[in-house]
């Protein structure tokens, strides 16, 4: 009660309120600066500790002297300027040491010691400041109140530091400020309750008006400058942090090279679109031959190319579109509007990307493929991006500069294809492949002269998988070399059991011809089975020649040197060239079934069939008609001078046990020959 009575009766309340306001502001700034010190290390921490000390010291000092200006003693008073300056140094240095201890050691001991030093600094500043307060009267002190004031300052300072460690954010963080402010205010007014003055008779009362005004102005200016410095430093750092955070957020959401959004930002944009129920299209763009550009011109040129591609895309899409770079050569676009709008933009992109780029004196020509999907066909960002991937892969399968729109059911087809890939990779190990043999017969004699080995895949759950379904897949995933090696070994092993001199023909994939293992597979199959080389015929398509003509020619020469015969399969389709017949060491030309099937009704097919058989005779290469299914087709081939035939009329593919290896002709075949 004495403290309250003393506060009301001996003080000017507006000054008390001003002192309290200064204390609260100073405590808030001090705690904010202290938290910055806690978040930093090294020299940066020392810098923040210094600002914390200046802010705390000025708050303590200004609170004390503003309150003292409002004190109404019954005697004449003055201020000692030296002790006044000493008091502020005590406040700054003492609180600085305390806060430094608390920042370095964040455990309980550091809190108690550091907080205690801060409390003692508050008390020391107050009582040194009271020594600077010169009164023309007898001064006495109530030791109990002095002790209580020091205890309050120390205890509340420790509590404030403990609270700052515990509640760094949220509403409770203000408790720290309140406790530090209470330590300063309660120390002052409890200490003032301990201060008793007995005036000397005849002496004046109060403070000289000039001294009062000068003191008040000095205190206010000094306090505002010091606190203003602390507040400004805090705000500047806060703004710097805000700018840094903005930069970090941009770095986290944008591609540093092109400035486009990155995959993370794309996911957020798609999620936002789904959340709002927006109807939009998603385009996935894949640059063609980007790796070749990097390898040929260097990564610097490749980087500039990406930047210019990004600029063209942004120009086409406009401000309403969203463009992101999500891979080395993949970009994604989100567009509002109809499917027709998305397709229209896609073709604009194709034209823009196909337009040559002039970069550092180089003219770069590239292209792209685009997959498109609609948001309503997916429920998640992951699903939408997966659909676009599927559409893009389909576009890439059909060639360059293609656009493909995702349709319902494609995901299931891709999943089935993936499962087929998985099964295919283990099919050889699980012994799921079988060979069947289709007879090849000479037209002149009607005798079977050989068999073509054809692979069949007996899947444990799917049943018989057609070769057209799994051979291209095996070539794509790279297991055709192993499968082809097995076919060579198995066909030669079976041929060794035949009690005749018929040859076995094996079709070799273009992928196998690119493999260095092919020659060793062939020689090993012959050596292991004991089949003479002249009984093996290697068939190849012109696709293999186009891919690596010189290398294929060398391989064929090596086969011919061993005595192996070589046949050109499916001649007349694909990349047919008469130069291949001239330059390659061929023993047989197999005319594609499409010409045999339509020659009787299509004059162009007839012309091709006649020309190839005549050309074969002229250059000494035997000819064979494929896909013979009718007697009429058989008679036509014979009339044109074709050497051999193969097809269902001659014999269907069958297992070794079911095949007839007799030298006599099939009765149907013999009858047809007899009628000619």
Strand partners, 451: 439, 504
**208 and 290: one domain?**
no
Give the contacts of 359 (CB within 8 A, at least 6 positions apart).
297, 301, 304, 305, 308
Q: Which of 394, 452, 542, 626 is catalytic?
A: 626
Tens digit of each residue's pLDDT (9 = 90 or more) over 551-579: 888 899 999 999 999 999 988 776 656 77
pLDDT > 70 fraction of the chain, expressed in percent and rounded:
84
Q: What is the domain-level CATH number for residue 394?
A: 3.30.70.270
Please give the pLDDT value at position 438.
95
Please check whether residues 437 and 469 belong to one and the same domain.
yes
Q: Residue 440 and residue 669: Cα distance in Å, rounded?
A: 12
Total number of domains constituting the chain: 3
Domain interval for residue 277: 263-408
Residues 223 and 291 in one domain: no
Position 592 scores a pLDDT of: 92
Domain shared by 395 and 495, yes or no: no
Residue 331 domain-assigned?
A: yes
Looking at the structure, tell me whether residues 489 and 546 fall in a common domain: yes
Rounded mean pLDDT, 621-636: 95
Dihedral of alpha carbons 175, 176, 177, 181, sign: positive
pLDDT at 670: 54
Residues 198 and 333 in one domain: no
State if pTM tops 0.75: no
- φ, ψ (nearest 5 deg) of residue 233: -60, -40
Residues 99 and 160 placed together within one structural domain of the fold: yes
Judge whether residue 61 has pLDDT over 90: no
Residue 217 inside a domain? The answer is: yes
pLDDT band at residue 664, thresholds of 50, 70 and 90?
A: very low
The pLDDT, as a whole number, for residue 662 is: 43
Establish if 252 belongs to a structural domain: no
pLDDT of residue 248: 65
Q: Select the more confidently predicted residue: 113 or 195.
A: 113
Whether residues 524 and 464 fall in one domain: yes
297 in helix, strand or coil? helix
* Burial of 353: CB neighbours in 10 Å, binned 0-12, 13-18, 19+: buried
Structural contact between residues 638 and 665, judged by C-beta atoms closer than 8 angstroms:
no
Q: 532 with 646, same domain?
A: yes
Q: Are strands 622-625 and 588-591 parallel, antiparallel or unpaired?
A: parallel
Q: Reduced to 3 states, what is the DSSP secondary structure of residue 138?
A: strand
Q: How confident is the model at residue 661 (pLDDT cuts 50, 70, 90)?
A: very low
- The last residue of one of the domains, among 339, 374, 408, is 408
Structure confidence by residue, pLDDT tens digits, 337-370: 888 889 999 999 999 999 999 999 999 999 999 9
Residue 246 has, within 13 A of its CA and on its CB side, a CA count of 5
148 contact partners, CB below 8 Å, separation of at least 6: 190
- Whether residue 194 has pLDDT greater than 50: yes
User: Over the range 593-606, which residues count as b (16 or more CB within 10 Å of their CB) and which as e?
Assistant: bbbbbbbeeeeebb
- CATH number of the domain residue 589 falls in: 3.20.20.450
Q: How confident is the model at residue 658 (pLDDT cuts 50, 70, 90)?
A: very low
CA distance linking residue 519 with residue 524, whole number of Å: 8
Give a yes or no: residue 493 inside a domain.
Answer: yes
Q: Which residues contact 276 (CB under 8 A, 6 or more apart)?
A: none
For residue 257, tell me if it sits in a domain.
Answer: no
Q: Is 201 exposed, middle or buried (0-12, 13-18, 19+ CB in 10 A)?
A: exposed
Instruction: Please tell me the distance from the alpha carbon of residue 189 to that of residue 541, in angstroms, as a whole number.
Output: 104
Nearest Cα to Cα of residue 543 among 577, 592, 510, 590: 510
Residue 449 in any domain: the answer is yes
Same domain, 96 and 226: yes
Q: Please say if the pLDDT value at position 231 is more than 70.
A: no
Domain end among 369, 389, 408: 408
CA distance 303 to 294: 8
CA 322 centroid distance within chain: 17
- Over residues 91-146, the pLDDT tens digits come to 888 888 888 888 888 788 888 888 888 889 888 888 888 887 777 667 778 888 88
Mean pLDDT of 207-218: 56
Both 105 and 22 in a single domain?
yes
Tell me what pLDDT residue 444 has: 92
User: In this structure, is residue 661 part of a structural domain?
Assistant: yes
Asked which of 192, 211, 243 is the last residue of a domain, the reply is 243
Residue 321 shares a structural domain with residue 214 = no
pLDDT tens digits, one per residue of 428-455: 999 999 999 999 999 999 999 999 999 9
Instruction: Say yes or no to pLDDT of 183 above 90.
Output: no
What 3-state DSSP class applies to 283? Answer: strand
626 is catalytic: yes
Q: Give the per-residue pLDDT at 222.
A: 59
- Give residue 252's pLDDT: 76
pLDDT at res. 36: 78
Mean pLDDT for 299-314 is 94
pLDDT (0 to 100) of residue 106: 79
What sections of 105-136 are H helices per DSSP? 108-132
């Amino acid at each position: 009660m004495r403290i309250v009575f003393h506060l009301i009766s001996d003080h000017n309340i507006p000054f008390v309120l001003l002192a309290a306001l200064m204390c609260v502001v100073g405590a808030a700034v001090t705690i904010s600066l202290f938290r910055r010190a806690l978040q930093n290390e090294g020299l940066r921490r020392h810098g923040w500790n210094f600002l914390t000390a200046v802010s705390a010291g000025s708050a303590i000092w200004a609170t004390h002297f503003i309150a003292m200006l409002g004190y109404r003693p019954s005697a004449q008073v003055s201020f000692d300027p030296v002790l006044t300056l000493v008091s502020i140094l005590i406040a700054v240095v003492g609180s600085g040491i305390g806060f430094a201890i608390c920042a370095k050691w964040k455990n309980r001991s550091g809190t108690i010691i550091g907080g205690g030093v801060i409390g003692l600094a508050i008390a020391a500043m107050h009582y040194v400041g009271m020594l600077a307060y010169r009164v023309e009267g007898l001064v006495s002190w109530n030791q109990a109140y002095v002790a209580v004031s020091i205890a309050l300052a120390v205890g509340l300072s420790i509590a404030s530091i403990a609270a700052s460690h515990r509640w760094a954010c949220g509403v409770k963080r203000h408790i720290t400020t309140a406790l530090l402010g209470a330590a300063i205010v309660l120390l002052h007014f409890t200490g003032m309750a301990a201060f008793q003055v007995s005036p000397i008779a005849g002496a004046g009362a109060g403070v000289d008006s000039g001294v009062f005004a000068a003191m008040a102005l000095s205190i206010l200016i000094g306090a505002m400058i010091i606190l203003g410095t602390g507040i400004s430093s805090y705000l500047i750092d806060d703004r710097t942090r805000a700018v840094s955070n903005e930069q970090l957020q941009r770095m986290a959401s944008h591609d540093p090279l092109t400035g486009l959004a990155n995959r993370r930002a794309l996911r957020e944009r798609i999620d936002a679109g789904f959340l709002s129920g927006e109807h939009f299209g998603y385009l996935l763009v894949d640059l063609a031959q980007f790796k070749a550009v990097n390898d040929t011109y260097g990564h610097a040129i490749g980087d500039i190319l990406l930047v210019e591609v990004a600029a063209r895309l942004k120009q086409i899409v406009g401000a309403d579109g969203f463009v992101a770079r999500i891979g080395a050569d993949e970009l994604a676009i989100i567009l509002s509007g109809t499917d027709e709008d998305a397709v229209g933009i896609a073709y604009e992109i194709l034209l823009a990307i196909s337009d040559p780029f002039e970069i550092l004196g180089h003219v770069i020509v590239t292209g792209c493929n685009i997959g498109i999907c609609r948001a309503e066909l997916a429920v998640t960002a992951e699903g939408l991006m997966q659909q676009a991937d599927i559409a893009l892969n389909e576009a890439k399968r059909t060639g360059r500069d293609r656009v493909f729109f995702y349709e319902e059911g494609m995901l299931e087809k891709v999943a089935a294809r993936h499962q087929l890939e998985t099964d295919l990779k283990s099919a050889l190990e699980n012994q799921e492949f079988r060979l069947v043999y289709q007879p090849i017969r000479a037209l002149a004699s009607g005798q079977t002269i050989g068999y073509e080995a054809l692979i069949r895949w007996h899947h444990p759950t799917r049943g018989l998988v057609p070769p057209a379904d799994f051979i291209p897949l095996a070539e794509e995933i790279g297991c055709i070399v192993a499968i082809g090696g097995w076919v060579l070994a198995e066909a030669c092993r079976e041929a060794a059991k035949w009690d005749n001199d018929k040859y076995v023909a094996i079709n070799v994939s273009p992928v196998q011809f690119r493999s260095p293992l092919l020659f060793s597979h062939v020689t090993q199959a012959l050596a292991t089975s004991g089949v003479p080389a002249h009984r093996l015929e290697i068939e190849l398509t012109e696709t293999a020649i186009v891919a690596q003509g010189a290398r294929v020619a060398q391989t064929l020469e090596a086969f011919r040197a061993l005595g192996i015969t070589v046949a050109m399969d499916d001649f007349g389709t694909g990349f047919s060239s008469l130069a291949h017949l001239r330059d390659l060491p061929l023993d047989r030309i197999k005319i594609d079934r499409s010409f045999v099937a339509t020659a009787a009704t299509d004059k162009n097919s007839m012309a091709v069939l006649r020309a190839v058989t005549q050309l074969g005779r002229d250059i000494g290469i035997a000819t064979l008609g494929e896909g013979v299914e009718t007697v009429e087709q058989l008679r036509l081939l014979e009339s044109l001078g074709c050497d051999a035939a193969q097809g269902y009329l001659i014999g269907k593919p069958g297992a070794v046990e079911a095949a007839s290896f007799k030298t006599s002709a099939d009765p149907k075949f013999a009858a047809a020959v007899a009628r000619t």
